[in-house]
Structure 1
Amino acid sequence: MKRRAAAIVCLAVAPLFTACAVQPPQVALAPTPPIETPLAAPETTPPATPMPEPTTATPEPTPSVAPVTSATATPKPTPKATAKPTSAKPTTAKPKASSTPKPTKAASTKPAAPAAPVDVGACTGQSLALNAKGGCVQKAQEILAGLKLFVGTPNGTFGQSTANAVLNYQRSRGITDNAIIGPETWAALASGRGPGANAAPASCRAAGVVLCASKGNRTLTLLRDGQAVKTINVRFGGMTKDDNGKLRIFPTVSGRYSVYAKDAKAFSDRWEASMPYSIKFNPNMYVHYSGDFAKRGYAGSSHGCINVASLSDAKWFFDNTPVGAKVVVY
């Protein structure tokens, strides 16, 4: 019985040994295939990376050809390829090149724009000044409004806005700036000629920093060693109220000066007005920011100072104009 029982136990244990003996080889075979597949994957990816490098190197010499060929290869990008060669991009590139010489264009278009004479009829024999009224005043206002000098609606009344429009027109044409529409001013208005470009004097191109202020162009330019750095629109003296509240002309002086002081928080006791970022070149005349200019534009005028309508522009000129810099007003 003992031998028989032992035989039975051996027969029962024998399959267990055979099962354990078979599994180890299966476990050893299973890991080998996954190890070979990751090795094969990196070997295929390296050749793929060098392939785009030559293709990106070739488009660099001819950037326009590469996008066109790649776009025409597929059916969908063909409209993109046709859109690129169109005249849209060439035309945008050309205006950018021509927009840089803006000063030359502005100077040439101003005299050329108004070519047709204006019929002023019997008005040429009249002399119009402040407080005048009638059809000839309205005719002059309409002409000045067409030249973008008159601020407001033509109403036939010669007020402050009309006077300053006449002053600015006279300065732009080299006519005596007295705010009176006499024979010389009527002749200029009747000719249809608009504001002219006034050439800066040679003194504006002196060495160092120079502020060049043009009453005819209504501009202020900062130059360094003869090279223009920044130009802005400004307002000069004109028809405005005096200490008694009456309208009269306060002209801006012409000539050459030097900056003798600067005051970022200047205040006028006489006119009870703040004058931020004042650049002082004359005891009674500064370059400074003007809230009135920012609000009313050229309908009003200064009491002789050079007004700047933008606070940031006023600060820029204040920061970039040293004491001792030259100032030329013409």
Structure 2
Amino acid sequence: MKRAIERLETDRAAEPPTPLREFPLAGPPGTALYLKDESRRPTGSLKHGPARDLLLGALRAGQIGPDTLLFEATSGNMAVAQAYFARMLGLSYTAVVPGRTGAAKRRRIEEQGGRCHPFDPPLAVYGKARALAEESGGYCLDHLERVGDAVDWRGPQSLGAQILADLEKAGESAPVWVVVGVGSGATSAAVGRHLRMRGVGTRVAVVDPEHSAYFPGWAADFPGYTTGMPSRIEGIGRPRMEPAFDPSVVDLVIPVPDVASVAAMRHLHAVTGVMAGPSSGSCLWGAFSVLDRMRREGERGAVVMVVGDVGETYRDSYYDDSWVVGKGWRVEGPLSDMERFTATGAWGVSGG
């Protein structure tokens, strides 16, 4: 599969960096907030690069051949990206998805040439994907187990390298903080490792939604922490701390209320026109939190938050007022908090 490896490497080399946008922030003085917009990847999310790296790793290890059937257990952005690259290589790709997965999410996978295999109960999809791969002589990509080792965090096209290069072009020093979401944990690990390799002193803050294991597990220094409950914020949050998560390169984990994530994604859209998913709302809330911390401590410099995925997918859910109210989320309070911070630099979130 030498030709397949060359094709993926050529594709990576040809892909332009994603945009870096400045968020129009009134305060605090001496600080700036930038958005690294990974929703502009060809498949609409920051999972695009890690999906390619997973396939490259498997090809180099001889685990994928010209006729290998590929399987994965996910219904989200990772499946969309994997299907895209599988089609590029002429390989069959099947995503094992929970039975309740909506038509819109299945359609995104299918539009990239993938197939969906519904299966219940939801937590059994991982075992089912492995079983289908074994029965067919195929290969299960198993991103939750493998993506941490697959991602190229050292190279000049890694997310950490791009953030530093983008800020240099903008006339800024290395950021004081980078704020990212955490699903598999691969992004925070890759960014944190690159920043530490470069010795720039940038700190990494991870945002974590309700019902996710990362904040309590990180705070207690207990990697075996589990919640047994799924995240309600798509793209981030896990009931366990996944193998790719590297707490040694994470300086802060910020728990974000789900309603705040929803309010913040809407605020992001209203202020910048960037229509992103709810995980980006979590990141914006976290970015405001660290900016307020910088103000209180008299620290100056830039903060970069990562926009994780495009928001078009969520028009009928997180951007739909009736759907949000049905979830019991009242966004008015946190939305007001964010509007005030944007306009004045005063945070003062009630209840934390």
Q: Same fold (TM over 0.5)?
A: no
* Structure with higher RCO (Cα < 8 A, 6+ apart): 2
More strand, by proportion: 1
TM-score using structure 1 length: 0.23
Computing the radius of gyration over CA atoms, which structure comes out larger, 1 or 2? 1
TM-score using structure 2 length: 0.22
